[in-house]
Amino acid sequence: MDPGSRLFLYPSRRKCPHRIAILIAVKYIRTVCFAPEKETLSMTTTGTQASAIWGKLWIMLPMLLAIAIYLFTTTGRAVIDYDEGYYAQAAKHMVEHRDWVTPYANGVRFLEKPPFLYWVTAASFTVFGINEFALRFPTALAVIALVWIMMRMARNASGEPASLVAGFSTACCVGMFLFTRETLHDIWLVFFIALAMHGFLRWYLDPMHSLRPALLFYFAIAGAMLCKSLIGVAFPVGILAVFFLVSREWPEWRKLHILPGSLLFIALTAPWHWMAAIRNEGFLNFFFVGEQFLRFFSKREPPILWSVPLVAFWALVLVWFFPWTAFLPAAFMENRKAMDKRQRALIRLAISWAIVILGFFSLTDRLEHYAFPALPALSLLIAGALGKAEGSKPIRRAFGGLAVLGVLALVFGICAGIWIATGHGLQYSSSGPADRLSEADFSILADMPAPIVRSLLKPAAGTVLLIALGFAAAFRYERRLQRRHALICLAVVMTGIFGMIHWSFYICEDLISSKKFAHAVAQMARPGDRLVVVDDYESANSLNFYQPLRVEVYDGLAYALVPGMKYPDAPKVVLTRQEFATAWQSESRVFALVPKVRLAEIDPAGMEMLQILHRVLIRNR
């Protein structure tokens, strides 16, 4: 008799939860852990109800893992100075002032980006209050939704095994985790591009080319437009153009449903642009000409101060997709084999997707995270190959390469540990970042003070152990023709590594955020007080999230606020030497956040409130 049936025949047992748990565990061990040695990755049922349930749970593992990873890490991290500091302020202002049209940062119009990120973040603030969890919650939801979309695309084209691979590789690659540590517009751009591609693929594979999936495509590009403006339209349309070019086919115009799709697009995007143009003089010229076309040709004012070299940009794509990068060569080899129409369409779409994103940013200024929208395309490329039956030599070699990498990482880690333990130490003399305006995404790594570098050794050691043990286990499972277990090993390893990265962000909090200084100010601040940053505003703009005073700048810039400061109602942000001296010597209380090396310039010397790393918070009275 099936154990599940006994629960209903014997009501007294039905009331014992631990009995149910034991029966489920026994069924799991019998059907999964003691499966035949040469299993397949297929998620088909074995004829029993328990097997069907567990088959569905296996398929849901990437979603469950994404929920655990990205929701758990929404807390325990301070708001980061610069980009996240700006975007958090804009959403906070919307909630506090009920102005859902014009974003503001530090009391100044902040019109660089469309408002979708601010809207969803403000909605989160409304529900959960203004705090760090509410700030990061929409980003976590976007990642979880993205994983679901990628799994749906892979399943519709290549089956459930490919769906498992697409889900794991989307949720558990380095770039997906790193680029969602801040509240940025980019994750929503990635989400809407993926949604557009999902709608297009459904439309393309439908013999009737029906209206519903086409409208999903137009809805998605409208969302992308409200996330990142014109590139939100250019990327999906460009991907489709390359797809049809590669496929050597062009659809009939009437089947594209351009009229209803365009009406939907205009209905969703036009209202905000129209209202923003009415309320902000010169908005359309600044927003479209300056921030789109002039930015592409590197003629934007104020000018772009940073860009990653092209070779480094392309090389880092392999890092962002780690560890799944190892399977890209095997994917290209496997995907050349005979496939049905659905699989061919998915592979061509993924290739077109990657080409458009990476090709576009090869022609203009770029940062590391600009490759982010291409990562889901790479997930689709490897999904079909890894979702096939076991025994592929290229894929086995890829697992073997990861195992070798794990061994090398362990050897290097042991050697580094011996080097440090024998008293050689770390030759790191930096006291902190020198110029936040000229930084790329991760250039701050070169400016870490020695105490922080030493503290990072523990998560680094944990990462090395995870890579060595986990990759070896994954290779072992692959050799035993247990692909599903090998993939789960990789996902578990990456989950552990993400935990180490989360820990590292906590260690680096004082370097990348001004949260503790803001709390010190908030405890004493009263109406009429002033807060001055003796440096660029971007070096400490997270202050605005945690304390009530508007931030002023002395002997520095407020780079991203320059366009907004041209409006006649903009408050004074950048102080001259005389203005700062007058304020400092006045009867009003002034707080000043000063680099330690510049304390001697403050006359008269202030009263020290808090010193952390290279910065000191002082007040004049």
Q: Within this chain, do residues 343 and 306 fall inside the same structural domain, yes or no?
A: yes
Which of 554, 534, 555, 513 is CA-nearest to residue 618? 534
Lowest-pLDDT choice from 127-141, 176-190, 336-350? 336-350
Looking at 56, 72, 93, the residue that finishes a domain is 56
12 pLDDT above the threshold of 50: no
Does the residue 565 lie in any domain?
yes
Helix (H, G, I), strand (E, B) or coil at 443: helix
Q: Within this chain, do residues 282 and 405 fall inside the same structural domain, yes or no?
A: no
Looking at 492, 511, 530, the residue that finishes a domain is 511
Q: Within this chain, do residues 154 and 207 fall inside the same structural domain, yes or no?
A: yes
Look at residue 293 in the predicted model and tell me its pLDDT.
78
Lowest-pLDDT choice from 50-64, 167-181, 326-340, 542-556? 50-64
Q: Within this chain, do residues 489 and 525 fall inside the same structural domain, yes or no?
A: no
Domain count, the chain: 4
Does the residue 117 lie in any domain?
no
CA distance 352 to 239: 5
Does the residue 277 lie in any domain?
yes
152 DSSP β-pair partners: none
Tell me: the pLDDT tens digits for 508-534? 999 999 999 999 999 999 999 999 999
Lowest-pLDDT choice from 101-115, 359-373, 437-451? 437-451
Q: Quote the pTM value.
A: 0.88
13 pLDDT above the threshold of 50: no
Does the residue 75 lie in any domain?
no
Q: Within this chain, do residues 368 and 437 fall inside the same structural domain, yes or no?
A: no
Query: What Cα–Cα distance (Å) separates residue 537 from each residue in 81, 211, 433, 543?
Result: 9, 49, 14, 10
Tell me: the pLDDT tens digits for 158-196? 888 899 999 999 999 999 999 999 999 999 999 999 999
Look at residue 36 in the predicted model and tell me its pLDDT.
40
Q: Within this chain, do residues 368 and 448 fall inside the same structural domain, yes or no?
A: no
Name residue, tokens 């593992």.
61
Tell me: the pLDDT tens digits for 78-124? 999 989 999 999 999 999 999 999 999 999 999 999 999 999 999 99
pLDDT confidence tier of residue 603, bands split at 50, 70 and 90: confident
Look at residue 20 in the predicted model and tell me its pLDDT.
39
Q: Within this chain, do residues 362 and 406 fall inside the same structural domain, yes or no?
A: no
Tally of CA atoms within 13 A in the half-sphere of 146 that contains its CB: 33
21 pLDDT above the threshold of 90: no
| Greatest mean pLDDT range, 125-139, 426-440, 605-619 | 125-139
Look at residue 40 in the predicted model and tell me its pLDDT.
41
366 pLDDT above the threshold of 50: yes
What's the domain range around 38?
3-56
Q: Within this chain, do residues 485 and 608 fall inside the same structural domain, yes or no?
A: no
Q: Within this chain, do residues 416 and 524 fall inside the same structural domain, yes or no?
A: no
pLDDT confidence tier of residue 2, bands split at 50, 70 and 90: very low
CB 312, CB 366: distance < 8 Å: no
Q: Which two tokens stand for residue 9?
A: 């025949």
pLDDT, the chain, mean: 86
Does the residue 125 lie in any domain?
no
Which segments of 73-210 does DSSP mark as H helices, in order? 83-97, 116-128, 132-158, 160-171, 174-178, 186-205
Q: Within this chain, do residues 17 and 44 fall inside the same structural domain, yes or no?
A: yes
Does the residue 612 lie in any domain?
yes
435 pLDDT above the threshold of 90: no
Looking at 462, 486, 511, the residue that finishes a domain is 511
Name residue, tokens 């024998």.
422
Does the residue 72 lie in any domain?
no
Q: Within this chain, do residues 205 and 250 fall inside the same structural domain, yes or no?
A: yes
Q: Within this chain, do residues 382 and 401 fall inside the same structural domain, yes or no?
A: no
SS (H, E, C) 225-264: HHHHCCHHHHHHHHHHHHHHHHHCCCCCHHHHCHHHHHHH
Look at residue 302 in the predicted model and tell me its pLDDT.
66
Element (H, E) at 533: strand 530-533
26 pLDDT above the threshold of 50: no
Tell me: the pLDDT tens digits for 259-313? 999 999 999 999 999 999 999 999 998 888 888 877 776 777 666 667 788 999 9
CA distance 203 to 219: 14
CA distance 40 to 37: 9
